[in-house]
Every structure is written in structure tokens, then in C-alpha cells.
Structure 1
């Protein structure tokens, strides 16, 4: 049985617990959106305070939402915060922050000149006409790949510029997805940054470059349509497949890390 939580026209994705996370984050964002200390791209409100002593605010975010992200920290800050977070009986996850600029857009253009999706696939972009059935299929795909979609306001572009692409077979199956969307924040240093990724491909279609093509298309479209070319993504160090795709499209490690504080009690295994 599918459970869908919505606030107004906004729709949340993933498991029931993950939908709860997105709903709490959406409501929290209405309170803190004018504070430059915070950012949001449709899944969990993140903390932009980057000193080690700001760990208390990150722990509070995790308690409220279930997940307390804090992006672009130095390894030294990460080390200091982890001990405090674990002392609060929370778990942690660390991702490498990768970034790409105009060179990445150029590399994506070059890649697309010589690469294409299989002819039996058709690419669609999420928008106001995307049906509930299509959202269900995209959600099922990304969940199968261990990826949580942002809320629909971000996917549709209601919350800011976005290019979210999915590939369908002739019989209507959604087998590939990639997205690029602007993170919501009023922090001057973060303006214009595009969160890129969510790369997903169904098992039977893997190894044919589908996620890479869709990811390249999303980057080029963001640059052409909105003039944006500052792309960011977070990748686990052991995720060799995502690292390989990102390198091919001009991403490189920034030397900074993203730290996620996780409260299993609030998240309820979401």
C-alpha cells in the first residue's frame, strides 16, 4: 500500500518514514528559510554553520527531523563533530563533496555529442503535467537504487530552477532518472549552487550509460536554460560507480566533506 503525505500541492517520497522526514523538513523550512544559516533541497534542512562548536545546532536538527545534514566541512571539523554527535547517541554518515563548473558543462556537451540513450527509450522532464502514476514509478525506481527523491516542489521547479529527467520504455516503465536543482537558501555564499545527481537505473538496464546521459543532459540544460554552472554533489567514498560517472562529467573532489547526523528514533528506520 502506498502512503502519500502532502502539504498543499507538495508531495513527499520514499518509505512512510522518509515521507515523514520530508514533511517535517518542509515545515521546518517555513520557519528558518530567512536565516542564512540553513539550506534546503527538498529532503532535509541542512546547517551551514561550519565551526566545530556549531555541532549542537546539527544535533538539534537531527532530533527534529531525523536527519541533520551539515555540508562542506573540513576534515578537522568533521573529526571534532563526530565525537559529539556519537556522544548524543546519534549515528553519522560522511560523504565526499564533489563539484563541477563550466568545464563540467563543456565535458557534458562533448559526451552527449558522442553518446545517446538506447533508441527504445524516451526522455521526459518532470513538470506540472507529470502524473501521479509517473511520480510513483520514479519513486519506485529511486528507492530501488537507495536514493530518496526531494519533494515534488523541488522536482517540478516550484521551489527554484530544476531539471529532473526520467527515461521511459515504450511500454511505460521508468528505468532511468537524474536531476539537477537549485538549493534553497538565502546565504550569499550559496546562491546559484546546483545540487546534482540522484542517478538511478533499473537493474536490467545498467551498464548502458543511461544515468550518465541523463546526468549530462541535466547539467547542460541547467546551464543553457538558467545560466547556472556551479554543480555540487555528495558521494560516499565507497560508491565507485557514482565516482566514475561524476569524473566523466567533470566533477572533482573539493577536499570538503558532508556530515549527516542521524537520529534513528525520530527517523524510525527511514
Structure 2
């Protein structure tokens, strides 16, 4: 399999280290991984010193669930360890998300000139290269190729392809926590929504996102989904609401090592 890590030099190096860390820690239920870097599922799974160690080793790491009452203290602790914390609202949904996705796929279809494809082992590398170019242009860092193809963990990545084989939109969902994690083992990450600016307004991400969510349920039995949205990102909040997700009382707190990621951020 081709070395399928995307982004600039820093981002590719971080993704590569994240995949290696997942090979080392993937059987420990404290840790999360969905195709970028290994993190801690929740604050009960490790303190900020452990999260900082993961961030320094990989370049980036995140808590998947932080109660609102602990957000400020955790961000302060990470900053004191010379890391750059980033907060995302955690949006999640179960039955409401499944029902919303079913409504979307029953009432919306891709334009006639586009074809939906699910990435797998046999997908030509050119499709992933085209996906990466489009997504990165939107500020969205794709997961590593093994995750996109569903070769490492249960995952679905769908793309809309035009007649020239150009990827113009994408969405993905992946297992997040270890299946035996007591609280989040049955919850899947959902996201990586991106659309070529020339094709916006056609609800491509919404349609692909709905199909990806339903595929995760049909293929792997996931019925609970989550994603992170930066506070104030109204377009992403709107898509999440249409997908039946709701903002809860927990946040995702990521942290980057600025010596590994010059911009202090992993992705949009």
C-alpha cells in the first residue's frame, strides 16, 4: 500500500507518527484513534501530563470528551506545558442522527454528473490524491489512507466524483474509541466534510455525510455519532443540526506541539 499521508510536511509527519502510535497503543481502551493521531477518550482515561506526552511524541493529541466545568483548567495546564490547546464543541446524536440521515438520503440525491464511491483497498491512488487536494484546499486534513480505505479500523469514506475522475466532495466516519471503552466504545467519529468551492450549494457534503453515517450503522453496527465543531462555526453547526446531532455539555480539547506543527493546529 502506498504511503498515504496527506498535507504539508508537518501534517504528514504527524499523521505518520499517529498511525505508528495507534499500532503501539490500539489495544488499550484508554486511547482513541480514528485516522489522525492517538488521544485519550476522556479525562478519566489520563491526566494532562499523559495527553501532553502523546502530543509531544506525535505532534498533536486530544481529549475526546471534557466536561464544561474542566475545560478552562485543562487548557491552562496544557498551555503551561508549552502546547497550543484548541477547543471544539462536541456534537453528538444516536437515534436522531440515524433518522435524520434516512430523511436526507430519501429526499436528496447527488447531481446527475456525479458518482458516489466508497474508498476501499482497490480504490486507485489517484482518487485519494484528488480527495486530499480538494479537502486540503478547504482547510480539512484527510485521515491517513488506511483509515480512509477502512483497512485499519471500521470506517467509511465516501466521495463524489465528476466525469473527469475529480473528487469534488467527501465525508467520512470511523470507529473512535476502543470497542471495550465503558462509555464511548459504541460511538463513532463522523466528519471530514469538504466540498470544492465550485460545487457548493448542492448539499454534497450533507448527502455524503448522511450516507456515510448510515453505512457505519449498516456495516459495523454503530448507532451513536460524534464530531467536533469550533465554537462559532455557523455552517458546520447548521450541517450538524440537519444531521440530527446536538451540542452537549462536553468539549473536545486538542493540543498541538508548535515545534512539530508550526501553525499550532492539526486541521480546520
> What TM-score range do you get, normalising by the shorter chain?
over 0.9
Distance apart, 1:141 and its partner CA: 1.0
- SS where residue 259 of structure 2 aligns? helix
Q: TM-score, normalised by structure 2?
A: 0.92
Q: TM-score, normalised by structure 1?
A: 0.92
- The aligned residue for residue 229 of structure 1 is 223
Show structure 1 runs of 4+ deviating over 3 A: none
Alpha-carbon distance in 1 for matches of 2:42, 2:242:
32
Q: 1:66-91: per-residue Cα shift (whole Å, max 9, x none)?
A: 11211110122211111121122221
Alpha-carbon distance in 1 for matches of 2:58, 2:257:
8
Kindly report the root-mean-square deviation, in angstroms, between the aligned alpha carbons of the 2 structures.
1.8
- The aligned residue for residue 70 of structure 1 is 63
Larger CA deviation: 179-188 vs 240-249 = 179-188
Q: Given the superposition, is the C-alpha separation of residues 178 and 49 from structure 1 closer, same or farther in structure 2, using an over 3 Å criterion?
A: closer
Work out which of the residue numbers 245, 248, 253 in structure 1 matches 2:247: 253
1:188 aligns with 2:182: yes
Work out which of the residue numbers 33, 50, 59 in structure 2 matches 1:40: 33
Distance apart, 1:184 and its partner CA: 5.0
Alpha-carbon distance in 2 for matches of 1:261, 1:205:
33
Q: Given the superposition, is the C-alpha separation of residues 194 and 10 from structure 1 closer, same or farther in structure 2, using an over 3 Å criterion?
A: farther
1:18 aligns with 2:11: yes
- SS where residue 190 of structure 1 aligns? coil
Distance apart, 1:264 and its partner CA: 0.9
Unaligned runs of 5+ in 2: none
Q: Given the superposition, is the C-alpha separation of residues 101 and 10 from structure 1 closer, same or farther in structure 2, using an over 3 Å criterion?
A: farther
Distance apart, 1:117 and its partner CA: 1.2
1:122 aligns with 2:125: no
Alpha-carbon distance in 2 for matches of 1:52, 1:180:
23
Q: Does structure 1 retain, via aligned residues, the 8 Å contact 2:35–2:147?
A: yes
